Amino acid sequence: MIAPVLMYLMMGIIEIALMFFATVNVDGAAIDAARRIRTGLAQSSGDAETDFTTAFCGGLSTVVTCADVFYDVRTVDNFTDATLETEIDEDTDDPVTYGFSAGGADDIIVVRAMFYWDFTTPLIGEFFETTAGTDKRLLVSTVVFQNEPYEE
């Protein structure tokens, strides 16, 4: 009688652990890819967005696929303008992205990487979902920094 309950509990623990692993993995990939922008390597490559995407996707493990991640890179005038709220498009239920702008030397940049985690363990998603009835949780990684004074 207790075995099914313990198995269900173990499945939930494993799935939540995988979700946290995926979050840490996306955080690391975003930080590594953002460093290429911060140091000017992405801008000097000729195509900063492709350079960023290649570095970001190369840092992901098999738990999260690059096609499932929404990202945006934008410049802001000062650190107080760096809004970290994630807007959701009501038509598609996808996070709103603002395009790609790697900026130049000394610019302030906001890098956001967002993805949905689909829960497969029954009932666990109801406790963690961000959109009611979807069994999905939106996970967001944000990196805010000022570009180094590299030579353009």
pLDDT tens-digit series, residues 36-72: 999 999 999 989 999 999 999 999 988 899 999 999 9
pLDDT at 149: 92
Angstrom distance (rounded) from CA 91 to CA 119: 22
Q: Model's pTM, two decimal places?
A: 0.87
Chain centroid to Cα 63, Å, comes to 13
- Provide the pLDDT for residue 93: 82
Residue whose entry in the numeric block shows the structure tokens 């598609």 = 92
Q: Which segments in the chain show pLDDT lower than 70?
A: 152
State the residue range of the domain holding 92. Answer: 2-146
Domain-located, residue 19: yes
Q: What is the DSSP letter of 94?
A: P
In-domain check, residue 36: yes
For the chain, the C-alpha Rg in angstroms (whole number) is 18
pLDDT given for residue 151 in this prediction: 78
Considering the domain boundaries, does residue 151 fall inside one?
A: no
Does some domain include residue 107? yes
Our measurement of the distance from residue 119's CA atom to the centroid of its chain's CA atoms, rounded to an integer in Å, reads 17
User: How far apart are alpha carbons 140 and 72 in whole angstroms?
Assistant: 11
Q: How many domains does the chain have?
A: 1
The predicted pLDDT at position 56 comes to 96
